A and B are shown apart, each in its own frame.
Chain A
Amino acid sequence: MRGAVSLETAFLCVFPSSHFERRCTLRILESGIGELIQPPDLDAFREWNRERKSRAMVDKLMTEEEAIARFVTDGCYLGTELYGTVRAPMSLVRELIRQGKKDLRLVGQGVLETDLLLGAGVVAEMDLTYIGLELYGTSQVFRRAAENGRLRRIVEWSNGALTWRFKAAAMGVPFLPVRVMLGSDTFKYSAAKIAECPFTGQRVCLVPALILDVTLMHVHRADRYGNAQIDGISGFAHEIARASKRLIISAEEIIDTEEIRRYPERTIIPYFLVDAVVHAPFGSHPGEMAYMYARDEDQLKEWVEASRTEEGTQAYLTKYIYSLSNHREYLEFIGQERLEALKAAMEGR
């Protein structure tokens, strides 16, 4: 008998009639008016991961120039991890700007890295949670880009909403129900939806999976194949690495795979997620790297001052990006003495 009932229920789900309709349908109560900048296609993502991501342990070590040239295309949907002043993929971001990539769609939580991308005018659209300079206040380049309408589109989210969007993609599901953004304009200007939960009847916010074209991430160490370790907090590394079609890792140190195998519990990112490995000592500079080097307060302040005007912004970009041909030259320009001082300034465990 029970089997017969469930068969009937299943039938009614396909051809809903009044009695079963509500129980079988996920009722959408409200929709955010923001555009879904990067609509998820879960099966295409699976197929991509099947066909385009090698399971072979191949050497992926390359330079910033090669990694950016090969994997970042104009108009692609880009993410960075962690952020601006903390374990940030700054050498990769500087190279991206140097190569003049354009029309990028960007997901941000951002401080300095997002500021530089906006200042260089390479961003067209944003899924946004926060752009600011933390204790140095609001981002002047972001203000100019938004207030002058130079950004084609901004869609609002919270930190949690964006991270759970990555998590949904990482799980291979089209959305996750969450309990943030409810009752706010952050929701109204997002591309989320509010639904009635089919189990409890409560209102829940549905955040769509976010599959990125490319993610740039800086880590403490990796082997040549892309097996990567991070010390300290992991931000949203776990989720965004699994939500990306292309993943470029830069690492302070390239280590032997035997070292990875000695501490397998530390491998936050396994090699098969990774497309390129870049050896970038001080890759997060002027940001910090936990247990390795402190942030460069003087250069951060220099950016805060420079970014107040368009001319200052361009002068900073010329000084630290356009006039230097790669990360090695950048480090020479910063100088060994200063880098050593930053190492000495980082507290231990």
Chain B
Amino acid sequence: MSEQPYNLTELLICVAARQIPDNVTVFVGTGIPMLAASLAQKMHAPNLMPIFEFGGVGARLEIPPRAVGGSRTFYKAIGAYGICEVLETAGRGFVDYGFIGGAQIDPYGNVNSTIIGPQYYPPKIRLPGSGGGNDVGSLVWRTIILMRHEKRRFVPKVDFVTTPGYIDGPGAREAAGLPRGSGPYRVVSTLALLDFDEETKRMRLLATHPGVTVDQVVENTGFELIIPDEVGVNEPPTEEELRILREEVDPERFYI
């Protein structure tokens, strides 16, 4: 993609931003989710209400935060609360979307950000742990998962379920006690946009990124993806998106 006038991070931010409509509440972390929320706020979703897990509610995303509790997460915000208030807001069904990331994902959208390897302790590779990931994936209505698309990351079974997706199929979240009607909504990967089949709750290819083939997506996925008859292609970042991204969302070019 070297000739393209945008880089992969910019494409991911644009594709993620387009998943968020106006007038919704969104749990955002730092990095790509925050930039996606900021871009959406400046493009099509001026009333998008960002919520940060340490208490920032409704910030104007004018300067990108570098920490989920940093002062920019409540810059010109409508509220500055604490963890309990924002998670309890999600608990009673007020948070529509949430972003999480991880090292591994399986066909049901279960995400691992705790350990790599067969043994819990001592682990082969130790990752940060849940943080707010499990809370977001449990409590918001629609979880959007950001992933690097590689075979070793899209695996049939994750080494550790840090954050539950659809667990092992239809009805499993509700049976586990998780809120009815919640769960993974989209996966925005470095190769494609994916969702989850309504019947089986398994991951399905929605659209590939520009210049990426369906075969490439399949080759880089370690389990059987549902491939519908019609697979779309994501629009590349528009000039307007790129301009806003570079001049307004991350002018310091800290992330992009």
Identify the A interface with B (CB < 8 A): 82-83, 85-87, 109, 111, 128-132, 134-135, 138-139, 142-143, 146-149, 154, 156-161, 163-164, 167, 178-186, 189, 194, 202-205, 232-239, 288, 290-291, 295, 297, 346-347, 349
Contact = CB atoms under 8 A, between A and B. Distances in A.
A236 B83 contact: yes
Contacts of A148: 122
Interface in B104-153: 114, 120-135, 138-139
Given A179-B91, A179-B179, A186-B161, A163 B114 contact: no
A134 B67 contact: yes
B71 interface: yes
A203 B134 contact: no
Given A132-B128, A143-B126, A180-B138, A86 B70 contact: yes
Contact of B135 (A82, A146, A149, A160): A160
B172 to A, nearest CB: 7
Given A146-B121, A158-B131, A288 B70 contact: yes
Nearest to A159: B132
Contacts of B160: 185
B31 interface: yes
Interface in B1-55: 30-31, 52-55
SS of A interface (majority): mixed
Closest 5 CB pairs of A and B: A203-B177, A130-B131, A183-B176, A233-B55, A132-B128
Given A156-B130, A347-B63, 19 more contacts: A111-B67, A129-B129, A130-B131, A134-B30, A134-B68, A139-B128, A143-B126, A157-B130, A158-B132, A159-B87, A159-B131, A160-B132, A163-B87, A180-B134, A184-B162, A184-B164, A202-B177, A239-B82, A290-B74
B178 interface: yes
Quick one: which of A163, A184, A234, A290 has the most chain B CB within 10 A? Answer: A184
Given A129-B130, A163-B87, A164-B84, A232 B176 contact: no
Contacts of A237: 82
A186 B220 CA distance: 27
Nearest to B135: A160
Looking at A86, A158, A194, the one whose CB has the most chain B CB atoms below 10 A away is A158
B236 interface: no
A130 B71 contact: no
13 contacts: A82-B54, A82-B69, A85-B70, A130-B132, A138-B128, A158-B131, A163-B87, A183-B177, A189-B120, A239-B83, A347-B71, A347-B72, A349-B76
Given A233-B74, A234-B55, A156 B66 contact: no
B205 interface: no
Nearest to A292: B71
A315 to B, nearest CB: 23
A186 B83 contact: no
B189 interface: no
A61 B113 CA distance: 42
Interface string B159-181: 01111100100001101111100
A118 B66 CA distance: 23
A147 B130 contact: no
A130 B133 CA distance: 10
B203 interface: no
Given A147-B122, A183-B167, A235 B127 contact: no
B128 A131 contact: yes
Interface in B84-111: 84, 87, 91
Nearest to B173: A183
A236 B91 CA distance: 17
Contacts of A205: 177
B211 to A, nearest CB: 28
A128 B133 CA distance: 13
Given A86-B54, A146-B122, A186-B114, A135 B83 contact: no
A231 B247 CA distance: 30
Contacts of B122: 146-149
